[in-house]
Structures are given as C-alpha cells and as structure tokens.
Structure 1
Amino acid sequence: MQLGDYNDLEVAREVDFGVYLSSDDGDLLMPGKYVPAGTQVGDVLRVFVYRDSEDRLIATTLDPLVRVGQFAALSVRDVTPLGAFLDWGLEKDLFLPYRNQRRNLRPGERATVYVFLDETSDRIVASARWEGFLSHEPFPGQPGDAVQLMVAEETDLGFKVLVNGQYQGLLYHNEVFRPLRLGDTPTGYVRLVRPDGKLDISLQKIGYDEARDAVETVLKALHAAGGTLPLSDKSEPDDIYRRLGISKKVFKKALGYLYKNGQVQLAPDHTRLIPES
C-alpha cells in the first residue's frame, strides 16, 4: 500500500461508521461519508490513503491537491510554533514543519512545497525547500521545446518555475505579459539551457514559430471580427492578451509582417483587414 497516494483496495467488512478495506499493512477504515452508494463487501475501491489526526491510516474518496512525490502551491491554514498547516483538500491539513520552511509564513498566503513521506515518523509532510527535490540529471530537451510549467516563486528577476515537474527554470519579467500567481501551470517554451542545468523559459514559441503562430492568430481574430480588430500597436498589453492571448511584443511583430505583406491597414485604434483582390 502506498501512503500518500491512490490505492485499489478491497472492501473487507462493513461497520456502522463505514467500511474496512484490506491491505498488506492491515485493514484500514473508510468513514461512511466517503463510501460510495451501493458499495458491498468484495468491491475494489480506488482510494487515497493518509493518516488522520490520531495518526491512524484512513482511506478517502476525496481527491487531494497533491500527492507524495509531487510539488504544489498550497494555502496556509494555520501557523504554530512547530510549523504551518496547509490546505491540501483533505480534512486533516498537511504539516509543514518549521525546519522545512524557508521563511516565516502567515495564514492565508500560499507557499510552494514538495510533499514526501518522512522515514522517521512515517508521516506525510511538506517542505518549502523544494529546490532540493529537483532532478539532478541534465535536462533532456533543447531550446524551443514545449514544457509544462508550475509557477513556484517570484523574484527580482522574474518567476522561478518548475519545468515538467523535475527541473528549475526562470521566466524573466520581460517575458511575462499576463498576471501569474503561485501554482499556475501554463505551457512554456525553453529559451536557453544554461551550463548549470537551469533553464530560461518563455511563455511563447521561440523565433520563427512564434511569429508564424502570431500571424495566424491575428488573421483568425480579424476574420472573426468581420475584418476590423479594435487593437493596434498603441493598445495596452493587457487588452492584447485578453483578446488574442499573445504579448504586445509578438503582436507588433505580427502586425509588421501583415502590413509589409499588404494584408492589413493600421490605424491608431484599430487594425483593418484588406480584402483579397
């Protein structure tokens, strides 16, 4: 049985307050409020297993926000002299020991953590020192690759991001054209693989692919709007992103290409599609 993860366990017996599920570590309780209607002895249920407030193994059909071996940005529910307690979607909060914190936390704020099984106590705990749990292997990709990101921390330079759940990357502030918050999971693109293994990341495709996709996006929007788009190179970045999902920098590149190609007319407050002759 995997503590802090999903397990497929058989219903061993029913009791007034729920059912007991059989496992290699002995029978464990699933409280009645989690038992699916119609469940019978012998059924196999997919459940998440963790420890309750009395350190007993317990099963639930609730889906946690994070499992053992994963990273997540979680909200702080409470802070005590021993550490912080994080909301991870279950009745018992996730413990972040004081020794695993990088700074003092306050209730209501979010923190990026790695969740693991403490070998000494056999308890599921979190660590805000998440960089120590990243892969030490070289990044297997190359510049231009699409990657899955998780926003982990804001710095003076930009945003530290987790890349494919294993590597660390940096999104510089001038590469960010929309609001980001801890835990957001946008798609990104590798701009540079540094000698120390860290990655420079962009939220848009690199080079030719970036410009080509932006041109297609603008043309599609122009056609959908009947030929006139209430955007120009003078428009606010937020307005451009809300309508097109691209940065102002890339939007201006696309406009330049379309204008030189004789496909659009540019005005201070709009862009108009020139009909094909």
Structure 2
Amino acid sequence: MNTLEVGNIVNLIVARKTELGYMLTNAKREEVFLHHSETNKELEENEKVQVFLYHDHEGRLAATTTMPFIDMNSIAWLEVVGVQPKLGVFMDIGIKKDVLLSKDDLPKGRTLWPKEGDKLYCGLRTDKNGRLFADLATYEEIETLSEPAPESLRNQYITGYVYRFNENGALLFTDDRYIAFLHEDEGDKPLRIGQRLQVRVTFIREDGRVNVSLKAPKEIAYEEDSERILQYIEEQGGSMSLNDKSNPDEIKQVFGMSKAAFKRAMGKLLKEKKVEQTPEGTKIK
C-alpha cells in the first residue's frame, strides 16, 4: 500500500539526482519526483527534505518544497484565482498548482458564486480517485473557531467574508472570528459567497453571534437622502414636480428610495428651511 498521499506534508530522503530534479524516497522505498523548479536550493543525495505532495498538470504524484497555506489537517482563507462555470473555482493554496473547489460545493445559482479575488474558508480533501480538491469549511468548523461578540460591539462596524447563504440571508465570518447574520432586508446589493463586506452590528444575540446590516444608521441615511434630493432639485433649476404627496413609484424611479424614506428626508429639509413644498412640487427657498 502506497503511503505517499497527495495533500500531505512529509519528510523524505533524496535517493538520487536526475537531469530534471530529484527522486525522493521514504522508509518503504516509495518514490516521488521533485522537479528543480519546485525547490530553491541544490540538494544532495541522502539529504532529508520536507515536501508537500500534490498532482502535477499531468496527474502524476509530485513534490514541492514550497509549503502551502493548508494541508489535509488545516483550514484557511484561500483566494479565488479562476472561475470555470463547468467545473467550479480554482483556489490559490500557496504552491504553483491551484486546486479546484468543485461546482458541487458551491451555491446552485451562478450569481452567488465567488469572483476572482474573493476568499473562501477552505481545507483540502481527496475524492475516491485520490485527486486533490479544496473543501469548504463546514458550519461546525466555523462555529468551533468562532468567538462570542461583546455587548460593546453594538452599532460598531466589522469586516468579514460571506461563507454561507440560508433561506433568509447570508452568514459572515469576521476578522475577529464573530459569526454574523445579514438578513436579506438589511442588504443593499446582491451578494456572493466569498465576498468581503463591512457591516454594522445591529444586535448582539444571547449565543454571542451578531445581526448586522449594510444600511447606514437612520440619522446618516436621512442626511444622505436629503442631500441627494437637494442636489437633484438644484440640477433641475431649483424646483421639481415631486413632493410628499407624489406617487411612490415616481419617487422610487427618480431617487431609488421608498416614499417613507423620501418623506423623512423631505421633513429634514423643510425643518432646516432649505426647501418649501407647493401643490406643484418642491422648490428651494
């Protein structure tokens, strides 16, 4: 039985030099090839060397002295370096050969797939044919690594990566190891797995997890909305046909906000005496 298995870091002995590299061996005299390009120094016969085992581009077992970010017994954030719709996404594990995360392990909808530059929390696995694949961290693994969030985190901003979707929204694992839930109503754009987000903590749960939002606090939102309305009126020559009696669809079409948000922002502008409303619409005072 071959004990040299792909995905493992092992210590081997240089059995002999070849024109292209070195043949390495273990105590059972099993051999694996180490190409010159996969080591940064000259090796001598009988020298002990630590290598990572992988399959080269022709599917042969090979070795490299470059240590990967992960092995079969660890997990880490890996960067997506390629997307192949028919296969899945390729992950950078720190060696020259990228590893595939199968499409079977990704969300069903292609719009939810990661893009190049996104990061996923992964380990390694082999299939029944011994081929090496990236393996998404399970919910249980994330839970084991997580930390409970303190009460002081409320209304603070935190950053993390989307690692799962459920029927109501997205789950993030943050830089500080908090598990965060982003409800679909608290988002402002389509999300994808592996996407890095900065979110605001809205609630600390009893189990130490947090609820988060991509939306600004109301007072900030009011300010941004009112500035947008004022700028629009100025661009229209000082007046517009919309007021707080206008049709919600018209308001949505022009400003991309609900009528309730529009009325709140207009209320702020009226209170500050920056605008006045007429039956025909709104104008700058």
Q: Which TM-score applies when normalising by structure 1?
A: 0.54
- Alignment-derived partner of residue 263 in structure 1: 274
Aligned pairs for 1:68-147 (under 5 A) are 69-70=76-77, 86-88=89-91, 91-95=97-101, 110=113, 113-116=120-123, 125-130=134-139, 132-134=141-143, 135-140=145-150, 141-147=152-158
Shift, 1:107, TM fit: 9.2
1:172-200 Cα distance to aligned partner (Å, 9 max, x none): 23223333333333321110011112211
Shift, 1:164, TM fit: 3.3
Farther-moved stretch of structure 1 (219-228 vs 256-265) = 219-228
Greater C-alpha radius of gyration: 2
Find out whether 1:182 has 2:193 as its counterpart.
Answer: yes
CA contact under 8 A between 1:97 and 1:127: conserved in structure 2? no
Shift, 1:21, TM fit: 1.5
Q: Distance in 2 between matches of 1:229 and 1:50?
A: 68
Farther-moved stretch of structure 1 (201-210 vs 189-198) = 201-210
Q: Distance in 2 between matches of 1:186 and 1:231?
A: 35
Return closer, same or farther for 1:251/1:161 CA change in 2, 3 Å cut-off. Answer: farther
Q: Distance in 2 between matches of 1:155 and 1:268?
A: 47
Q: Distance in 2 between matches of 1:219 and 1:108?
A: 35
Unmatched 5+ stretches in structure 1: 4-13, 29-48, 61-66, 80-84
- Alignment-derived partner of residue 180 in structure 2: 169
> What is the letter of the counterpart of residue 93 of structure 1?
V
> What is the letter of the counterpart of residue 147 of structure 1?
I
2:63 corresponds to which of 56, 81, 84: 56
CA RMSD of aligned residues (A): 5.2
What count of residue pairs does the alignment treat as equivalent?
222
CA contact under 8 A between 2:198 and 2:214: conserved in structure 1? yes
CA contact under 8 A between 2:251 and 2:262: conserved in structure 1? no
| 1:154 partner SS | strand
Q: Distance in 1 between matches of 2:53 and 2:240?
A: 53
CA contact under 8 A between 1:160 and 1:170: conserved in structure 2? yes
> What is the letter of the counterpart of residue 146 of structure 2?
H
Farther-moved stretch of structure 1 (186-195 vs 146-155) = 146-155
CA contact under 8 A between 1:114 and 1:130: conserved in structure 2? no
Shift, 1:153, TM fit: 3.5
Unmatched 5+ stretches in structure 2: 1-6, 8-19, 22-34, 43-47, 68-73
| 2:163 partner SS | strand
CA contact under 8 A between 2:146 and 2:179: conserved in structure 1? no
Find out whether 1:21 has 2:31 as its counterpart.
Answer: no
Q: Which TM-score applies when normalising by structure 2?
A: 0.53
Q: Distance in 2 between matches of 1:92 and 1:108?
A: 23
Structure 1 vs Structure 2: percent identity of aligned residues? 19
Q: Distance in 1 between matches of 2:49 and 2:241?
A: 66
> What is the letter of the counterpart of residue 94 of structure 1?
L
Return closer, same or farther for 1:108/1:191 CA change in 2, 3 Å cut-off. Answer: closer
